[in-house]
């Protein structure tokens, strides 16, 4: 039995409808982690859906409670074949964002797979049930054909990724011995283009914070008090204008990204963001048009997504936008967001902004961090495990592989790269236009078919003995 036999078995699994049937069964679980009342469904997904399949593949499975109160559970599955074989850690998340059932297009449901041409609609098809279903099926087919995997495996499934992975870092740090491995290989996020096999080795960090300016209690008539009372909406808008230019350049000292290394710059130079609509990040035909003059100056569009820091105002409010009255508002608020690359520490962002605002007379603006920041991670494309994975994916697909040093978005990769100290390889199976956090989430069947082949080849190669040393 050979690599080709395993690839053929995987192809048959797709064409006979087994993949679609298996994914539909998983999509039907309402694993909405933002909804506390769905906690039992998270346990059911791990215990009733994933555990039987993994045990049939020879894995020892255990469900663990989250160390954080009201946190979501984890499933750890281990299969050990030989002390001399390499060990891979893999990961997936079984939770999804809220279904938003009534917002889906007519004829669609978040909890059923509906096929329209190349698109398979359903919540979790892209993020992340479809992606970990592909990886598990590919591993199962290698096991069936070879009779063994040829490597040791530890799998971690969490169910709180869509709420920021609370407890994941604490759980992994306290159980680091469970996750001793040579390499981390998993799937999440989008390809650079729908038809371009992609590998990324890290992710940008993410940090949210709120800016508030409260000047007084209640609004005051603009005819009686206009010109006498400072307007917090105007003041906060002017403060924001000192932080970012009219063309999107960051103006806060300490917020700029460090220069890219030569190897990272060379890898990014091979990428092409945009799609059928010209949008960034491989959005395909539904993607928006890129604004060519927006962002850090002197950079390509690809460098702005993968190689630098960005600042966004997510929401801004003063007064009552739905029912405005002729009154000077008492307060204003802006909800803000940073994406940043390796070299920028999230703990330094608020102090740098505080110094920036105070120096310009905006001491009254309050700064409040929101949630837990995700740190930035990046594995150099020249790393032996990265080169090995690139070669395997290229061999199976017959295509040039898009190599992204770090994803433009954010994942809890710091837990695997920093806390556990593993070289991290991500092989995404979706695309940026999949509506993963919105109504009408979908995955492309053609991408899934190719991804099944790619992962089967990758798992086969991992057990073939020709891998980087631990």
8 Å CB contact between 33 and 72: yes
Phi/psi of residue 193, each to 5°? Answer: -140, 150
Give the mean pLDDT of the chain: 95
8 Å CB contact between 275 and 287: yes
The average pLDDT across 269-278 equals: 69
pLDDT band at 48 (very low <50, low <70, confident <90, very high): very high
Residues listed for the chain: 470
Structure tokens at 163: 């709420």
CA within 13 Å, CB half, 407: 28
Per-residue pLDDT reduced to its tens digit, 150-185? 999 999 999 999 998 999 999 999 999 999 999 999
Of 335, 338, 327, 330, nearest to 235 by C-alpha is: 330
Residue 12's CB: how many other CB atoms inside 10 A? 11
Radius of gyration over every alpha carbon of the chain, rounded to an integer in angstroms? 24
First to last CA, the chain: 27
Checking if the pLDDT of 279 tops 80, the result is no
pLDDT band at 275 (very low <50, low <70, confident <90, very high): low
The average pLDDT across 211-227 equals: 97
In this prediction the pTM is 0.89
Q: Dump strand ranges (E) for 122-228.
A: 152-158, 183-186, 198-200, 205-214, 220-221
Phi/psi of residue 33, each to 5°? Answer: -65, -25
pLDDT at 284: 54
For residues 331 and 328, give the distance between their C-alpha atoms in angstroms, rounded to a whole number. 9
Percent of the chain with pLDDT over 90: 91
The average pLDDT across 276-289 equals: 54
Return the SS3 of 466: coil
Return the SS3 of 285: helix
* Domains in the chain with CATH codes: 3-203+377-462 (3.40.630.10), 205-374 (3.30.70.360)
For residues 192 and 428, give the distance between their C-alpha atoms in angstroms, rounded to a whole number. 9
Checking if the pLDDT of 330 tops 70, the result is yes
CA within 13 Å, CB half, 154: 19
The residues, ordered by sequence, that sit 6+ positions from 68 with a Cβ below 8 Å of its Cβ are 166, 167, 170
Q: What is the DSSP string of 317-386?
A: EES-TTS--SEE-SEEEEEEEEEE-TT--GGGHHHHHHHHHHTTT-TT-EEEEEEEEEPPB---TTSHHH
The residues, ordered by sequence, that sit 6+ positions from 239 with a Cβ below 8 Å of its Cβ are 211, 213, 357, 360, 362, 365
Checking if the pLDDT of 280 tops 50, the result is no
For residues 51 and 46, give the distance between their C-alpha atoms in angstroms, rounded to a whole number. 6
pLDDT at 85: 95
Of 372, 345, 410, nearest to 200 by C-alpha is: 410
8 Å CB contact between 13 and 142: no
Give the C-alpha distances (Å, rounded to integers) separating 442 from 18, 108, 194, 268, 269.
Answer: 18, 11, 12, 27, 29
Which DSSP state fits 190?
A: B
Report the relative pairing of strands 119-121 and 442-444 from DSSP bridges: antiparallel
Per-residue pLDDT reduced to its tens digit, 193-214? 999 999 999 999 999 999 999 9
Checking if the pLDDT of 287 tops 80, the result is no
């Amino acid at each position: 039995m050979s690599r080709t036999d395993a690839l053929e078995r995987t192809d048959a699994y797709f064409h006979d409808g087994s993949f679609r049937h298996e994914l539909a069964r998983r999509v039907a679980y309402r694993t909405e982690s933002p909804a506390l009342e769905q906690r039992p469904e998270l346990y059911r997904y791990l215990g009733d859906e994933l555990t039987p399949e993994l045990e049939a593949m020879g894995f020892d499975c255990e469900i663990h409670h989250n160390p954080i109160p009201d946190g979501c559970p984890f499933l750890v599955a281990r299969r050990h074949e030989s002390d001399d074989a390499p060990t891979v850690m893999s990961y997936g998340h079984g939770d999804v964002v809220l279904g938003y059932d009534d917002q889906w297009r007519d004829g669609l449901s978040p909890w059923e797979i509906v096929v329209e041409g190349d698109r398979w609609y359903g919540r979790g098809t892209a993020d992340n049930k479809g992606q970990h279903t592909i990886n598990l099926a590919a591993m199962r087919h290698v096991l069936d054909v070879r009779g063994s995997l040829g490597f040791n495996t530890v799998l971690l499934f969490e169910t709180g990724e869509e709420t920021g992975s609370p407890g994941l870092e604490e759980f992994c740090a306290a159980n680091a011995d469970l996750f001793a491995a040579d390499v981390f290989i998993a799937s999440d996020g989008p390809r650079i283009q729908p038809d371009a096999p992609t590998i990324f080795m890290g992710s940008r960090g993410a940090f949210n914070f709120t800016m508030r300016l409260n000047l007084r209690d209640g609004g005051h008539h603009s005819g009686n008090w206009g010109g006498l009372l400072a307007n917090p909406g105007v003041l906060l808008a002017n403060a924001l204008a000192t932080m970012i230019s009219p063309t999107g350049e960051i103006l806060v000292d300490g917020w700029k990204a460090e220069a890219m290394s030569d190897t990272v710059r060379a890898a990014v130079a091979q990428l092409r963001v945009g799609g059928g609509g010209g949008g960034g990040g491989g959005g395909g035909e539904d993607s928006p048009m890129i604004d060519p003059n927006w962002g850090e100056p002197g950079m390509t569009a690809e460098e702005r997504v993968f190689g630098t820091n960005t600042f966004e105002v997510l929401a801004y409010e003063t007064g009552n936008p739905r029912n405005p009255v002729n009154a000077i508002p008492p307060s204003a608020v802006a909800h803000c967001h940073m994406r940043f690359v390796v070299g920028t520490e999230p703990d330094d962002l608020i102090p740098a902004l505080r110094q920036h605002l105070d120096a310009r007379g905006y001491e009254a603006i309050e700064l409040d961090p929101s949630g837990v920041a995700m740190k930035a991670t990046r594995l150099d494309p020249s790393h032996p495990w990265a080169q090995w994975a690139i070669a395997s994916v290229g061999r199976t697909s017959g295509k040039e592989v898009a190599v992204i040093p770090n994803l433009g978005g954010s994942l809890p990769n710091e837990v695997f790269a920093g806390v556990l100290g593993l070289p991290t390889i991500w092989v995404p199976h979706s695309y940026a236009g999949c509506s993963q956090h919105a109504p009408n989430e979908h995955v492309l069947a053609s991408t899934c078919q190719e991804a099944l082949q790619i992962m089967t080849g990758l798992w086969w190669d991992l057990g073939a003995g020709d891998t980087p040393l631990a």
